[in-house]
């Protein structure tokens, strides 16, 4: 049977012993160290909470901007077409509230992607003239013309090849026309990425130098916002002022533990 009186007596005795130890002047140095360590812990914890709140605020502002943003397309002096719009920062369960179609794309993917992007483009090229071709008589008034066009540059490749068959009746009538495209190739490079604006917003862009390309839409999301930290925030985290508990040199170049307040440059952060 548990003796409640003995437990209370033990707790009371322990409390008195602790008060006695703290009251002893010989232990005041250690008491001070313990107090500073505890205060430092709470200060660091509070700073971490503030940083998380600031990041959540920045992420929310960026998502609101992405919701109301429209696609912006520019062409530079080299002919590169760049289209961009605001990007989202949200886990997939929250992304569904921001962009349902993009969230469905994430659901269709496997291996838990960290970043998802989606680009929709259309290619409209000029008419190709003087295509290399060759005619062939097949007999019984039937003819076939084969054609092939290859256009290659630093922008990519455009290739088309095929054959047309037809029958000639009399001098002017052409019937049974049939054209087959046997090769239709478009090779291009589309570069996508994320960038940070001056006000800390996250944007996704898609750029290509393929002639005649028009980006109809580009969407993207960073599915783990903790992976994105703005440059300004990184710089702020490098420097700090606060309580310090460490081991260093004294004025007479002797190693000694110390407690104090100072400015520090953080090599490792957590």
Q: What is the pLDDT of residues 136-159, one digit of tens each?
A: 999 888 999 999 999 999 999 999
Q: How far is CA 44 from the centre of its chain?
A: 28
Number of CB atoms found within 10 A of residue 269's CB: 9
Tell me what the mean pLDDT of segment 13-23 comes to: 69
Q: What is the pLDDT of residues 122-132, one digit of tens each?
A: 998 888 888 88
Tell me what the mean pLDDT of segment 7-19 comes to: 70
Contact predicate 187/51, CB 8 Å: no
pLDDT of the residue at 110: 79
Which has the closest alpha carbon to 123: 190, 62, 198?
Answer: 190
Residue 201 pLDDT class (50, 70, 90 cuts): confident
Contact predicate 87/194, CB 8 Å: yes
Q: What is the pLDDT of residues 155-180, one digit of tens each?
A: 999 999 999 999 998 878 889 889 99
- The C-alpha atoms of residue 252 and residue 188 are separated, in whole angstroms, by 68
Which has the minimum average pLDDT: 23-27, 118-122, 177-181? Answer: 23-27
- Cβ burial, residue 219 (10 Å; 0-12/13-18/19+): buried
pLDDT of the residue at 79: 85
Q: What is the pLDDT of residues 236-255, one digit of tens each?
A: 455 565 656 666 656 565 66
Tell me the pTM.
Answer: 0.64
DSSP 187-239: EE--EEEEEE-TTS-EEEEEEE--TTEEEEEEEEEES-GGG---HHHHHHHHE
Greater model confidence, 194 or 251: 194
pLDDT of the residue at 56: 77
pLDDT of the residue at 189: 94
What are the sequence ranges of the domains in the chain?
4-54+231-265, 72-224
Please state, rounded to an integer, the average pLDDT across all residues of the chain: 80
Greater model confidence, 211 or 268: 211
Structure-derived torsion over alpha carbons of residues 92, 93, 99, 105, reported in degrees to the nearest 10: 50
| DSSP 8-state code for residue 141 | T
Q: What is the pLDDT of residues 34-55, one digit of tens each?
A: 666 666 666 666 655 666 667 7
Tell me what the mean pLDDT of segment 260-269 comes to: 58
Q: How far is CA 75 from the centre of its chain?
A: 24
CA atoms within 13 Å, Cβ hemisphere of 49: 6
- The C-alpha atoms of residue 63 and residue 57 are separated, in whole angstroms, by 10
């Amino acid at each position: 049977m548990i003796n409640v009186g003995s437990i209370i007596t033990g707790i009371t005795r322990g409390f008195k012993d602790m008060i006695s130890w703290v009251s002893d002047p010989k232990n005041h140095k250690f008491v001070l160290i313990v107090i500073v360590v505890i205060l430092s812990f709470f200060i660091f914890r509070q700073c971490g909470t503030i940083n998380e709140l600031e990041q959540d605020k920045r992420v929310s502002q960026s998502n609101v901007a992405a919701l109301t943003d429209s696609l912006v397309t520019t062409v530079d002096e080299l002919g590169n077409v760049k289209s961009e719009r605001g990007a989202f920062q949200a886990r997939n369960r929250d992304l569904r509230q921001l962009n349902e179609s993009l969230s469905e794309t994430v659901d269709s993917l496997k291996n838990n992607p960290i970043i998802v992007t989606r680009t929709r483009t259309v290619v409209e090229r000029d008419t190709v003239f003087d295509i290399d071709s060759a005619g062939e008589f097949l007999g019984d008034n039937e003819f076939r013309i084969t054609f092939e066009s290859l256009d290659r540059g630093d922008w990519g490749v455009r290739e088309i090849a095929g054959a047309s068959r037809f029958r000639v009746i009399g001098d002017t009538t052409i019937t049974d026309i049939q054209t087959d495209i046997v090769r239709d190739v478009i090779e291009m490079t589309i570069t996508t990425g994320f960038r940070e604006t001056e006000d800390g917003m996250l944007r996704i862009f898609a750029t290509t130098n393929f002639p005649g390309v028009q980006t109809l839409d580009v969407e993207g999301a960073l599915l783990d916002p903790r992976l994105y930290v703005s440059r300004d925030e990184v710089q702020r985290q490098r420097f700090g002022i606060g309580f310090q508990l460490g081991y260093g040199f004294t004025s007479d170049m002797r190693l000694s533990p110390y407690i104090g307040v100072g400015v520090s440059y953080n090599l490792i952060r957590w």
